[in-house]
Amino acid sequence: MTDFTQAIAHLTRSDKVLRRLIQKVGPCTLKQKNHHNPFRSLVESITYQQLNGTAAATILGRVKALFPARRFARPEELLDITDERLRAAGLSRAKVAAVKDLARNTISGVVPTARAIRKLSDTEIVERLTVVRGIGPWTVEMLLIFNLGRLDVWPAADFGVRKGFARAYGLKKLPTPKELAPIGEKWRPYRTIAAWYFWRATELPE
């Protein structure tokens, strides 16, 4: 498990409200979900968009079953399969268009390989991946946090972070992403850990 001692020390010094939240929640147990390459991780993210976990997992399983010879399709294989078969697996038209655009951008090198992406800054990764259809900043931020383990990501538009922040600070209204974005500056270079604690704040009893 990653040692977040230095991050916790920084956050508790920088904000008394966050310090109380950390004391309530306890140690940070943030874990990377997997070590898949960016192409596979983003296909999964696109599949999960606007669906509950069970439904999305079922659809993803059907998509994987279209390529029985592999654990996961290569970009070239995904491009070769017909839209109709992907639609039959459960992907919407918009998601079919998105995963095929992702495949094209992976082949062209816009979407970096697993090795190359680790050498890029967070900003460079956001700039490169958001040119892909159906991939916005939030999707890339989740990739940075859960797949790449980046510690200074501040997903100010995330509903859970906004809700947890409002609860921790006793606000009646959720802050807007525009309002929340600059607040995170004081938690650099550990904004990911601050976000994790605000997610946990939504699980605490009222």
Give the model's pLDDT for residue 31.
87
pLDDT, the chain, mean:
93
- Determine whether 158 is an active site residue: yes
Give the model's pLDDT for residue 25.
95
Torsions phi, psi for 115 (to 5 deg): -75, -45
What confidence tens digit (pLDDT) does each residue in 138-174 have? 999 999 999 999 999 999 999 999 999 999 999 999 9
Give the model's pLDDT for residue 22.
97
Q: What's the whole-number mean pLDDT along residues 39-65? A: 92
Domains and CATH numbers, the chain: 38-136 (1.10.340.30)
Looking at residue 87, its amino acid is R
3-state SS assignment for residue 26? coil
Give the model's pLDDT for residue 34.
66
What confidence tens digit (pLDDT) does each residue in 83-133 have? 999 999 999 999 999 999 999 999 999 999 999 999 999 999 999 999 999
Give the model's pLDDT for residue 51.
83
The answer on pLDDT for 189 being more than 60 is: yes
The answer on pLDDT for 35 being more than 70 is: no
Structural tokens at position 91:
């992907």
The answer on pLDDT for 32 being more than 80 is: no
The answer on pLDDT for 1 being more than 70 is: no
Q: What's the whole-number mean pLDDT along residues 62-66? A: 95
Q: What's the whole-number mean pLDDT along residues 14-19? A: 94
Q: Which of 15, 80, 122, 158 is catalytic?
A: 158
Q: What's the whole-number mean pLDDT along residues 196-200? A: 97
pTM confidence score: 0.88
3-state SS assignment for residue 74? coil
Name the region of 172 (left: φ>0; alpha: ψ -120 to 50; beta: rest).
alpha
Q: What's the whole-number mean pLDDT along residues 179-183? A: 97
Residue 106 near residue 135, CB atoms below 8 Å: no
Q: Calculate the alpha carbon distances from 187 to 35, 81, 91, 196 in Å.
A: 26, 45, 39, 12
Residue 73 near residue 66, CB atoms below 8 Å: yes
